Amino acid sequence: MRVSNLSFRYRRQDPWVLSDVDLTLAPGDVVEIVGRNGAGKSTLLRLLAGLLTPVDGVIADRPRVVGYAPERFPAEQPFTVAGYLRHMAGIRRIDPRAVEIWAERLGMEHLLGHRLPDLSKGSAHKVGLAQALLCGPELLILDEPFAGLDAATRTELPVIIGEVAERGGTVVLSDHQGDLRGFSGLRRVEVGETTAREVAPGPDDPGEAEPAERVTILEVTVTASRARELAARLREEGHTVRMSEAEVAE
């Protein structure tokens, strides 16, 4: 995906938020957008997601399936969590049973029957994350995804991000709290003074000097009835687990 000479302002009389931005994002990239408050991080994320249109310049080769989780999920909607997520799955032609799988993964199965407007801030935020992840995004855009998350989900989210990247997806996110610092291979793009430029990884990042421990993929065949329990146990131990489509359909 290539961003060329991108410029954007919200209204004709407004100052430019971004001007002449060039950026290349490759499959498997995980890119953190950094910058001070008001620098234009959310604006750039919305442009990348295709929710805003550049005033000048182009965004080419955007992947087909885009998942976007906003900084603040609009919870004032007349749905239950399950109703909303199933509806989103329907729009995206996803097996609705994937809703339960993501709900479990994000620790929100107990919320499926709750009404969206009644959710706490953190729970509403999880619904925003779930709808972005449901579609199996090739481009995943997350605006402050760690904000307000409980400890278990804060630990799980980098694993999920790693899985999306591992299967060739591109992940772009803002992360004020620094939860992704130390993520191996993390690229960083700084937004400020209307420009966006690649900057070196922060001091906590392992970068190239300290390669991540070698990993291997182990395929395990297990009866469908035991799959979820085993997957949960392996995830608790910190492993990345991906289940086959057959299990999603169980």
101 binding ligand ATP? (CB under 6 A):
no
Query: Cα 204 to the chain's mean position, in Å?
Result: 21
Report the candidate in 60, 101, 144 with the shortest Cα–Cα distance to residue 242.
101
> Binding segment for ligand ATP among 40-48, 87-95, 113-121, 126-134 (CB under 6 A)?
40-48
Nearer to ligand ATP, 10 or 122 (CB): 10
137 binding ligand ATP? (CB under 6 A):
no
- How far is it, in rounded angstroms, from Cα 224 to Cα 250? 7
> Binding segment for ligand ATP among 37-45, 78-86, 87-95, 113-121 (CB under 6 A)?
37-45
**Tokens standing for residue 119:** 């959710």
- How far is it, in rounded angstroms, from Cα 62 to Cα 73? 23
For residue 116, the 8-state DSSP code is: G
42 binding ligand ATP? (CB under 6 A):
yes
43 binding ligand ATP? (CB under 6 A):
yes
Contact residues for 192 (Cβ-Cβ < 8 A; gap 6+): 35, 36, 39, 40
- The amino acid present at 7, given as its one-letter code, is S
Nearer to ligand ATP, 40 or 128 (CB): 40
Residue of 35, 83, 185, 202 that binds ligand ATP (CB under 6 A)? 35
178 binding ligand ATP? (CB under 6 A):
no
- How far is it, in rounded angstroms, from Cα 38 to Cα 230? 44
Task: For the CB of residue 46, give the shortest distance to ligand ATP in the complex, in Å.
Answer: 8
Residues between 1 and 30 that touch ligand ATP (CB under 6 A): 10, 17
Considering Cα of 77, then 100, then 139, then 148, what sign does the dihedral take? Answer: positive
Q: Which stretches of the chain bind ligand ATP, using CB under 6 A?
A: 10, 17, 35, 37-43
